[in-house]
Amino acid sequence: MLFRRIQLWLGFFTRITYPRDLPLVMAAFQHRRTFSMPLDAWQKIDRLGGYLSLKEAGLLYWGASQHPIAGPIIELGSYEGRSTAVLALAGRPVHAVDAWSLEVADIGAYHQGAIPATDVFKRFQDNLRALQIEHLVTINQGTTRQIGERWTQQAAVLFIDAGHHYEEVKSDLEIWTPHLHPQGLLMMHDVIGDSHLGVTRAASELLRNGWQVVASAGSIVAFTRKSEN
């Protein structure tokens, strides 16, 4: 296990672009923390399909439950509801945005089409019912661009975990961050790791555009806008 972790980190540090990504990586490690969430909730969530670790779930739960700005959460990329459940169980309403379709550019989560998207969507709905959180989750089925172009509601927390190609992540940031409260919390999955360097690149650009890192755990990095004072 330790050897595998060392391999992963070496892969990451050898594949990022220098000096572009270095400020982001340094800030993420400076703000790395261990976050906790209720064990009984995690035991239920861990049975769901998806790609969220306990460390990452702890950061999402902290952001959803402790961020002082009132308002709902927007989640881009819900898959079977693993992260959706963490966010909803923290007590805030969640707007889940996902195409649940293979008609998108990045279908890695569907193992390049081997997993039917309709089955994933049904499991998402079943998981919400099983956890009794349907009343906290509003389903928005469509691409992040389709939904975002007609979106009007401001959110306190924005979690981005949809398409992982650079152009997709950059587009999601451009479309959706204007709908985040000025003091809102932005969290992004798969920023730190050697598998999705397009996400890393898009996140790196945030630091040059008025954002700062406030926390990280696993592959997730959390940002807020820098104060103008």
- Which top CATH class is 2-225? alpha beta
Contact 120, 80 (CB under 8 A): yes
Q: Which residue has the tokens 């998402």?
A: 124
CA dist 226 → 6, 141, 182, 186, 229 (Å): 33, 32, 10, 12, 9
- pLDDT attached to residue 223: 98
Confidence of residue 110 (pLDDT cuts 50, 70, 90): confident
CA dist., res. 49 & res. 2, Å (int): 25
Domain ranges of the chain: 2-225
Q: What is the pLDDT of residues 10-59, one digit of tens each?
A: 777 788 888 899 999 999 999 999 999 999 999 999 999 999 999 999 99
Contact 159, 187 (CB under 8 A): yes
Confidence of residue 217 (pLDDT cuts 50, 70, 90): very high
Q: What is the pTM of this model?
A: 0.94
Q: Where are the beta strands (DSSP E) in 55-210?
A: 73-76, 94-98, 137-141, 155-160, 180-188
61 burial type by CB count under 10 A (0-12 exposed, 13-18 middle, 19+ buried): buried
Chain-centre distance for alpha carbon 33: 17
User: Is the pLDDT score of 229 beyond 80?
Assistant: no
Average pLDDT value for the chain: 93
Q: What is the pLDDT of residues 178-201, one digit of tens each?
A: 999 999 999 999 999 867 899 999
